[in-house]
Amino acid sequence: MAEIDGQLAGFSMVGYCRDEDMVYSTGELWSLYVDPKQMNKGVGAVLMSAAFAALKELGYTTATLWVLISNKKTRRWYEKRGWVLEGDTKDDDKDGFTLREIRYTHTLEE
């Protein structure tokens, strides 16, 4: 969780990789959210660093994340931070509509 002036600026959540085709040493960035009013202030980078540290502490050597295929801005942001497009896709049905997502991977450095 990140705060600016006592207000929630964003959060990230990590854990085991929920994808059955990934190896045991792979964790997952389940979510990373930055309040739109706090964007472009480095909050996302801080949250990403904290997420990587937490995944490494849990013993993972690789991480994955899923992002909406249509969310080009967020995909570019991840790519600039070393995430590599793995390319597997999935559909996530939510409340009567389908979200199409694509998977990225990242090696967690020692």
In tens, the pLDDT along 28-49 reads: 999 999 999 989 999 999 999 9
Any idea what DSSP says for residue 38?
G
User: Per-residue confidence at 109, pLDDT binned at 50, 70, 90?
Assistant: confident
Percentage of the chain lying above the pLDDT 70 cut: 99
pLDDT of the residue at 110: 66
Question: What number of CA atoms fall less than 13 Å from residue 68's CA on the CB side?
Answer: 10
Enumerate the domain spans of the chain. Answer: 2-107
Distance CA 31, CA 18 (A): 13
Contacts of 79 (CB under 8 A, 6+ apart): 85, 104
Distance CA 63, CA 38 (A): 25
pLDDT of the residue at 1: 86
CATH class of 2-107: alpha beta
In tens, the pLDDT along 74-93 reads: 999 999 999 999 989 999 88
